[in-house]
Structure 1
Amino acid sequence: MNTQVLQRQSFNPGHTQAIYDNFHFSQATRVGNMIWVSGQVGIDEAMVPAEGIQAQSHLAFQSLRTILEAAGASLADVVELMTFHTDLQGEVHAFGQVKDEYFPERYPAWTAVGISQLAMPGLRVEVRAVAVIGSGRI
C-alpha cells in the first residue's frame, strides 16, 4: 500500500495574487502530478476584456500556459479542457481554430458549454483545464 502523503499546493503567478486575495480562489491547485486550473478568460493585465473571440481566446490560453508552467506543467500535459461560451454556436469555430494553435496534436478531452454570461461584462469565453504532469512527453 502506498503511504506517500500527497501535498496540496496553490499557484497564483504574478498579477493573479490579487484575484486570490480578493475572490478567495487559486488559479491552480496541484496534488501529486495532477493540476486543476481555474477558468481563464481573455483579459489583459489591466483586467480589460480583449475585443472579439479570437483575441480573448489567445489571452485565455496564454494565461493557461503561464499558470501551468508555474505549477510545473505545460500545455502538452493538459488532458481535459472545459470551455464556457456566451455564443457557443456562433463562435465555436473561431475558438476552435485558436485552440488548435495551442493544442496542435494529441488533443485533450474537451467539453464546450453555452452559457448566458461570464463574471465580467464583455467576456465571451472561459477556459478551465486539468493536467497531468509528464503526460505530454512523447
Structure 2
Amino acid sequence: MKRQLIIPPGTQALYDAFHFSPATRVGDIIWVSGQVGLDAEMKPAEGMEAQARLAFGYLKYILEEAGATLADVVELTTFHTALQRDVQAFAKVKDEFFPRSYPSWTAVGLTELALPGLCIEIRAVAVAGSGEK
C-alpha cells in the first residue's frame, strides 16, 4: 500500500509553509491533522462553540476529499485550552456532527494552541467505508 497525501483545494499554502499534510491515507485508513476554528479571515472564531463548529466543518471537508465521511471516523482526539470549563458544551457540538455511532474520543487539556485565541483543536482517524450508509 502506498501513502497518499490529502491536500484539498485551499490547503496547499499551509502544506508549503508548515510542511504537513492536512490528511494522510494508507489503504482505507485516514489520519487527519488537527483542525482549528479559524474564520474566512484566518482569525479564531469567537468562542469555543463557534471554533468547534468550524473545526468539525474542516474535518468533514478534508475527509470528503480523502474519500470518507464523518461516519467513518473511528477516533477523535481533541485539545482544549479550557477543558473543564468547555467539555460539556463541546460535547454538545460534537454530537451535532456525530449523532450516533460515536467514535472513540480522548480530550486533552493544555495551556495553548498554535495561534493566540484558539481554544480547540480536533484531529481524527477514519476508516473509509466503515461508517453507516
Q: Would the TM-score normalized by the shorter structure come out above 0.5?
A: yes
C-alpha offsets along residues 3-62 of structure 1, whole Å, 9 cap, x if unaligned?
A: xxx011111212211100000000000000000000000002321110001000000000
Q: What SS class does the counterpart of residue 15 from structure 1 fall into? A: coil
What's the C-alpha RMSD, in Å, of the aligned pairs? 0.8
Q: How many residues align structurally?
A: 133
5+ long unaligned stretches in structure 1: 1-5
| 2:129 equivalent in structure 1 | 134
| 2:37 equivalent in structure 1 | 42
| 2:12 equivalent in structure 1 | 17
The TM-score, its normalising length taken from structure 1, stands at 0.94
* Amino acid aligned to 1:117: E
The TM-score, its normalising length taken from structure 2, stands at 0.98
| 1:62 equivalent in structure 2 | 57
Match of 1:81 among 76, 79, 82: 76
Name the CA distance, whole Å, in 1 between partners of 2:13 and 2:21: 10
Name the CA distance, whole Å, in 1 between partners of 2:100 and 2:77: 17
Percent of residue pairs bearing the same amino acid type: 65
| 1:108 equivalent in structure 2 | 103
Deviation >3 Å, runs of 4+: none
Is the contact made by 1:15 and 1:45 (CA closer than 8 Å) also made in structure 2? Answer: no
Name the CA distance, whole Å, in 2 between partners of 1:54 and 1:98: 7
Q: What SS class does the counterpart of residue 107 from structure 1 fall into? A: coil
Larger Rg over CA atoms: 1
Alpha carbons of structure 1 residues 20 and 126: separation in structure 2 relative to 1, 3 Å: same
